[in-house]
Structures are given as structure tokens and as C-alpha cells.
Amino acid sequence: MKKIVGDIRLMVKCCILYYEEDIGQQEIAKLLGISRPTVSRLLKEAKETGIVKIEIDRGYQSDYQLLERKLEKYLGLKEVIIVEDKLDAAGQKLELANAAAKYLERTVANGDVVGVSMGTTIKEITQYVKNTSNLQVTFVPLIGGVGQIGIDIHPNQIVLELAKAFGGKFSLLHAPAVISDVSIKSNLQDEKGIKHILADIQRTNIAVVGIGVPTDKRSTMMATGYYDEMDMKALKEKKAVGDICLQFYDINGNTEPFEFNERVFGIEIAQLKNIDKVIGVAGGEEKTKAILGAIHGKYINVLVTNYSCGKKLLK
């Protein structure tokens, strides 16, 4: 696990939990995925740097930490990380990716198996991974190769880049993300080379996933070429609000109306509930319902999002 030095955001969060909410250092360590000595050191640094005086100095990053804590309590999440709003979508994705990279640096430890989905935000995480020593970590794609979109957002490519950044290992899934015939899917699952990677996916204890809006014509899901406008119409009629790993759900997290999901090759969305940490990375107010559906379905338990989206989630 990476040694935490000079992380102001994390330092302030520790102070809020310890001084204002009377949570013990051991419990804080468990909540934040760090060691108890690290919590103690962060609290000490907070005093030395003047963050803690008579009360916690909230001048750092405005009221982001307050919003994070409210969302953690209200939505029952292990951790929420709020980043500042950006004027354009591209800049917002980079801000989210940077925060996700820092979270992984802080929490990934030897022996972890990290599953990764696809997406234009997820692919940017690698460039922000800094100062990591080689870890005994394995990165695996959660679904197969994705349609007609650029290679840079394919799960296999993202896995390769993350493994390189962390100095870890990787397994690759050489199969399409969506299968036209469910019987073909069953046969593929029995292939020797495929069974090995599927077993690695089952061992995943940390997952990083993008959250899509399937009814948005600009979405990555539509760009894959697996779905057309008739499919989008059907998804609207069935009240789909979001997708994770190309699998759809409604505002309550219900997946039953969506027979499309059976054709996806890789992890089944319900299996995400069994993973210790599932980090949903998504921003923009248009993704509020998609995020809520993912939380209601218990498909994510850590959220990285932007300030305006976080405020809307509270409503």
C-alpha cells in the first residue's frame, strides 16, 4: 500500500471523522482503506499544518468534504470523492480520472485482483498514476473486447496500461463483449483459455467501472456498434437509466426487463455485489439517475463524481 504524504483532501476527511464524528482511528482506517498508523500520522500533520485549530479548517476545497460525508451517510457508500466542476466534458473526465487514480494508489495492496470496465473516463486513469512501487497486483478486464470503438477504451488495453503503471500483472479476455447467440456464449465459457480469465474475474476484489446513460446517443455504449436506435427505443420503453459493463438497469437497480444483458460476455452485473470495493467513476448532472440506479442495485459502493452531480444526488 502506498505511503500517504501531503494529501490535504484525505487529511481533512480524517479530521472530520475523528474530531467531529468521534469515529476511532481503527474504524477510520477501515473506512478509508488505509492503515491505522497512517490515520494517526495524518491527524498529527493536520495539527502541525494548522488545519486543526479549535475547529477543522474547511477552507481547503470549499465544502467538498461535507458533501462527501453527507452522500456517504445518505446513500450508504463506503466512500465518496467529489471533484470540482469543469466547463467542458473532456476536462471533467480528466478531473474524475485523476481522483480515481489517487484512490487506487491509496487503497490497492499486494494480492489484490483489480477488475476494469471500459470507457472514455476509465481509460484516462493511467496517466495520473504516480510514484507507485511494484505491487503484486493483477488487473483483469471485466468484459470482452468492445465493438467498433477505439482500441484505447477497450478493457484489455486499459488493463495493460494500468498493469504497467502499477508494475503489476494482467490477464486478457480475448472474446467479444457482446455475443449474438447465447448458445455461443456458453460454448466460449468452456474454452480452456477463456475459463482461466473468467476464474480471475471471479477473484476480483476491487473493480473500477464507468457508468453510462444508455439512452444517450453520444454514449460509449452506442458507439460500440452493438446497439442501434431500435434498441435505444426499447431501452427507453423499459425505463433503463444506466449501464455498467454494457448491462442495463432501471432507477431501482432492477435488471430483469433487459434481455440484452444475457448477451454480454464477462462478469454478470449481479456479481459486482460480491466485490469488496466497486468504484463507480461518473460525472455530469445527466448521470444522476444512472448513478442512483447503480447504488440502489448495490453495483457500486465507492463513488467518484463532480460537485454539481453530488449536489443533485442529495435532492
What is the rounded CA–CA span in Å between residue 250 and residue 7? Answer: 37
Q: Are residues 123 and 243 part of one domain?
A: yes
Question: Which domain does 182 fall in, by range?
Answer: 63-314
The CATH number linked to 302 is 3.40.50.1360
Residue 301 has pLDDT above 70, yes or no: yes
Q: Are residues 272 and 200 part of one domain?
A: yes
Is the model's pTM score more than 0.85?
no
Q: Are residues 145 and 9 part of one domain?
A: no
Sheet holding 79-83, edge to edge: 79-83, 302-306, 277-281, 206-210, 113-116, 138-141, 169-170
Q: Which three cell numbers stand for residue 261?
A: 444483458
- What does the pLDDT look like over 22-80, one tens digit per residue? 899 999 999 999 999 999 999 999 988 888 886 565 555 568 999 999 999 999 999 99
Q: Are residues 124 and 28 part of one domain?
A: no
Q: Which three cell numbers stand for residue 96?
A: 474524475
Q: Are residues 130 and 42 part of one domain?
A: no
Which segment of 50-59, 149-158, 297-306 scores lowest on mean pLDDT?
50-59
Q: Are residues 30 and 81 part of one domain?
A: no
Q: Are residues 151 and 27 part of one domain?
A: no
Q: Are residues 227 and 149 part of one domain?
A: yes
Q: Are residues 113 and 53 part of one domain?
A: no
Q: How many domains does the chain have?
A: 2
Q: Are residues 160 and 121 part of one domain?
A: yes
Q: Which three cell numbers stand for residue 156?
A: 484489455
